[in-house]
Amino acid sequence: QVQLVESGGGVVQPGRSLSLSCEASGFRFSTYMHWVRQSPGKGLEWVAVTSYDGSDKYYADSVKGRFTISRDKSKDKLHLQLNSLRVEDTGIYYCARVSIATGGRFFDYWGQGILVTVSA
Amino acid sequence: DIQMTQSPSSLSASIGDRVTITCRASQYISSYLNWYQQKAGRPPKVLIYGASRLQSGVPSGFSGSGSGTDFTLTISSLQAEDFAVYYCQQTYSYPWTFGQGTKVEVK
């Protein structure tokens, strides 16, 4: 079955860096993959996307220039490098798989989420 | 960026009630509108994609409608397991954006 498992979260001081990973299994890792985050008690915020070969990447304005999305095709892993972290980057980070269906594209599978806390 | 505005932000309803949540996009998004349900401590789960297409395994009591800029999620008869937060999402253009969420609570 499809599984997405995030790792790498933790507590970090403002201005420091953190690296998140998402290990995929149960499907061909040839789809666009995304990161979405959710601040404590708040709504969902789309963060970044990468194509299968990494040639197509987009970022939310709030993280552009600080976060980098990448993928290791040989290991079926998605990564998110978080640099220059801010308090407002605190939240649960989810990796999510996109399904392209007739009439739409949507997240059909999500990881369980990993908590990133940015605090002095 | 396309802004998604949901209303209401919260509502109180009883089992068996018909519930309607609306979502408005700040610009045209065709039918690239999805609805998700999220329960506490869990990732979101897609209910409706393409504005009106029911995702496999989702109860038929959920339905979606609309196109262009105005969309609606309807729960025909609220069940106990439907108390949750609902989000709309546009996937018409990057950055993909979500509505702020609608919390459906017990009346």
Instruction: Render pLDDT for A65-119 as a digit per residue (tens, 0 to 9).
Output: 999 999 987 878 999 999 999 999 999 999 999 998 888 899 999 999 999 999 9
pLDDT at A21: 97
- Indicate if the pLDDT at residue A30 is higher than 90: no
Percent of chain A with pLDDT over 70: 100
Mean pLDDT score of chain B, rounded to an integer?
A: 97
Which of the pair, A19 or A73, is modelled with greater confidence?
A19
> How far does CA A46 lie from the centroid of its chain?
9
Length of chain A: 120
pLDDT at B19: 97
The whole-angstrom separation of Cα B57 and Cα B37 is: 13
**Among B4, B42, B48, B49, which would you mutate to test the A interface (most chain A Cβ atoms within 10 Å of its Cβ)?**
B49
The whole-angstrom separation of Cα A24 and Cα A2 is: 7
The distance of B27 to chain A (nearest Cα, Å) reads 17
The whole-angstrom separation of Cα B86 and Cα A65 is: 31
pLDDT at A101: 84
> How far does CA A30 lie from the centroid of its chain?
16
The distance of A12 to chain B (nearest Cα, Å) reads 22
- Indicate if the pLDDT at residue B32 is higher than 90: yes
pLDDT at A88: 95
- Joined together, the tokens standing for residue A15 give 């201005």
B12 Cβ contact partners less than 8 Å away, ≥ 6 residues apart: B105, B106, B107
Burial of A59 (0-12, 13-18, 19+ CB in 10 A): buried
Beta bridge partner(s), residue B7 = B22
pLDDT at B88: 98
Q: Which of B91, B95, B92 is nearest to A61 (CA)?
A: B95
Q: Taking CB atoms and an 8 Å limit, are A112 and B43 in contact across chains?
A: yes
- Indicate if the pLDDT at residue B2 is higher than 90: yes
Which of the pair, A41 or B96, is modelled with greater confidence?
B96
**Scanning every residue of chain A, which has its alpha carbon at the shortest distance from the alpha carbon of B36?**
A107
pLDDT at A28: 84
The distance of B53 to chain A (nearest Cα, Å) reads 8
pLDDT at A40: 86
pLDDT at B91: 97
- Indicate if the pLDDT at residue A13 is higher than 90: yes
- Indicate if the pLDDT at residue A27 is higher than 90: no
**Scanning every residue of chain B, which has its alpha carbon at the shortest distance from the alpha carbon of A38?**
B43
Q: What is the pLDDT of residues A84-95, one digit of tens each?
A: 999 999 999 999
